[in-house]
Structure 1
Amino acid sequence: MTEGRIAVVTGASSGIGRAVASAFTRQGIHVLAAGRSGDRLAAVQAELAGRPGTVVPHSGDMTHAAYTEELLAAAEREWGPATIFVASAGQGLPGTVLGSDANRWEELIEANYLAILRQLRATASEFKKHAEADGGRQVRDIVVIGSTVGRQISAANPVYGSTKFAVHSLVEALRQEVCTHNIRVTLIEPGFVRSGFQEAAGYDMEWFEAVAEQSGPLLVPEDVASVIDFVVSRPTHVHLDDIRLRPTRQKV
């Protein structure tokens, strides 16, 4: 069902995106790996060399308006039109409404909402064009990484959470818009994942380790990637459109 398919994966230089690239190539999916760091993407390419699916890196900034179109075009030049797009790139921001750094709000909204909106529009437009050409015989998948804090309000992390609430609504609206073309738009809502995300975003790591002590073992990126791999491998008529996964001991 998946061998020979072509995927674009953003945020592929680390964390969940990197794990998705690894899972996909193991199944024979070719991956255009997108991220900011060319060196780290090259390391991913080297690490996954020799698998049934191949990796081609494409570094750049996902907040640039036409970057999604660049990625889709690059994948098509390499192998043919993509049929999977995984939106994994994003940013975190610690702090409450009163306590978060207001100087970072615009950057967060740009990365976590506007960039995702552009990715969804560009990818769905491209997928719909190809679906109309082939009558929807080929299933196409758009997978977006959300968060449990995009469903359950967190007073401790509301600014970041609000971007996920917004993205969740976009994903469901797009699903309704394109599902008749056999385009499956899927939301993945992970709980706590030990991936380096929190440290890069500036969260208090003592707090995070306390969370890990209380709620762990935490998820790891490979746990999330295995779910995504399962989602895109379903038969054309089966769509797992919204999946939450948490560490077993995480209460909220």
Structure 2
Amino acid sequence: MNKIALITGASAGIGEACALKLAENGFDLIIAGRREKNIKNLSKKIQDTYGKEVFNLCLDVRNYKEVEKTINDLPEKWKNIDVLVNNAGLAVGVSPIEEGVIDDWDRMIDTNVKGLLYVTRCVSPLMASRKKGLIVNISSIAGKEAYPGGNVYCGTKHAVEAITKGMRIDLLPHNIRVSSIAPGMVETEFSLVRFKGDQSKAEQVYNGFEPLKAEDIAESLLFIATRPEHVSINDILIMPSAQASARDVNRKL
């Protein structure tokens, strides 16, 4: 029987790349996201390209009742989740703290922190009952450093780092491994969302150097997910070669 991976935020970007990479390497997938059309297209691509089974979930991780019902209503076969990838997340806005937009703050906290907790709360008992599993939380360089305009986003990713460590301790008796991948600058929809659809500002973020691609993060996930059960990769910090810290980038403009 193929292993089953559940990936949140699979509608695009890192989540989509992770789903494709795991399918390519023999996993069956539960793919979750808010954009139903994208999820359906990804599901078809996985089935047509790799011949793997896919279960689609149109899911908003910010709504606990929706998450709880969705996970509880999974067919029994699909409850045997081997790998959970908590990927759903976003940055919105770059305002300094004194000009912060409350709705932006709520979206980031509700998705990046509470959404991760809600999904983990519903999936981890399924893993605990089987005494095995792997949870991979997608963090960020922003979870290790703060930078101007990043205030609340950095706070949410610092929270992910701390929660990951706490989860690793709590789930140790259940033989559940917990890992974190913290990417630096990855060219996805991330900056387009952060700048609220301003394409020119989003493109400027990646000018003058080669950023990471979503597939680079997917490769890191595959490495974690295919280690022997006695091996736990606790944390991966992955950066473009041109990036030394959250702010220091060698741009050849």
TM-score (norm 1): 0.88
* Distance apart, 1:87 and its partner CA: 0.8
Distance in 1 of aligned mates of 2:186 and 2:234: 21
- Tell me the residue number matched to 2:46: 48
1:56 maps to a residue whose letter is F
1:49 maps to a residue whose letter is Q
Structure 1: gaps (5+ residues)? 132-138
* Distance apart, 1:111 and its partner CA: 1.2
CA deviation vs aligned residue, 1:116-154 (integer Å, no higher than 9, x gap): 1222222222211221xxxxxxx4111111110111111
Distance in 2 of aligned mates of 1:73 and 1:32: 14
* Distance apart, 1:167 and its partner CA: 1.4
**Could you tell me whether the CA contact under 8 Å between 2:92 and 2:193 is conserved in 1?**
no
CA RMSD of aligned residues (A): 1.9
2:103 maps to a residue whose letter is N
1:41 maps to a residue whose letter is I
Distance in 1 of aligned mates of 2:106 and 2:149: 19
SS of residue matched to 2:142: helix
Are residues 1:226 and 2:226 paired? no
Are residues 1:163 and 2:166 paired? no
CA deviation vs aligned residue, 1:101-123 (integer Å, no higher than 9, x gap): 23322222111111112222222
**Could you tell me whether the CA contact under 8 Å between 1:144 and 1:187 is conserved in 2?**
yes
- Tell me the residue number matched to 1:58: 57
* Distance apart, 1:99 and its partner CA: 3.5
SS of residue matched to 2:244: coil
- Tell me the residue number matched to 2:108: 108
* Distance apart, 1:156 and its partner CA: 2.7
SS of residue matched to 1:199: helix
Are residues 1:209 and 2:207 paired? no
Find the partner of 2:178 among 166, 171, 185: 185
TM-score (norm 2): 0.88
SS of residue matched to 1:189: strand
Find the partner of 1:4 among 2, 5, 19: 2
Are residues 1:237 and 2:230 paired? yes
Distance in 2 of aligned mates of 1:38 and 1:121: 24
* Distance apart, 1:7 and its partner CA: 1.1
1:119 maps to a residue whose letter is V
Q: Which moved more, 1:21-30 or 1:73-82?
A: 73-82
Q: Which moved more, 1:79-88 or 1:140-149?
A: 79-88
Identity of aligned residues (%): 27
- Tell me the residue number matched to 2:140: 147
Q: Which moved more, 1:119-128 or 1:216-225?
A: 119-128
**Could you tell me whether the CA contact under 8 Å between 1:5 and 1:29 is conserved in 2?**
yes
* Distance apart, 1:206 and its partner CA: 4.3
- Tell me the residue number matched to 1:135: none
2:25 maps to a residue whose letter is Q
Paired residues for 1:109-128 under 5 Å: 109-128=109-128
Instruction: From the superposition, tell whether residues 5 and 75 of structure 1 become closer, same or farther in structure 2 (CA, over 3 Å).
Output: farther
CA deviation vs aligned residue, 1:8-44 (integer Å, no higher than 9, x gap): 1111110111111101111111101100111111100
Are residues 1:24 and 2:22 paired? yes
Instruction: From the superposition, tell whether residues 171 and 67 of structure 1 become closer, same or farther in structure 2 (CA, over 3 Å).
Output: farther
1:162 maps to a residue whose letter is G
Structure 2: gaps (5+ residues)? 246-253
**Could you tell me whether the CA contact under 8 Å between 2:136 and 2:179 is conserved in 1?**
yes
Distance in 1 of aligned mates of 2:213 and 2:83: 22
- Tell me the residue number matched to 2:251: none
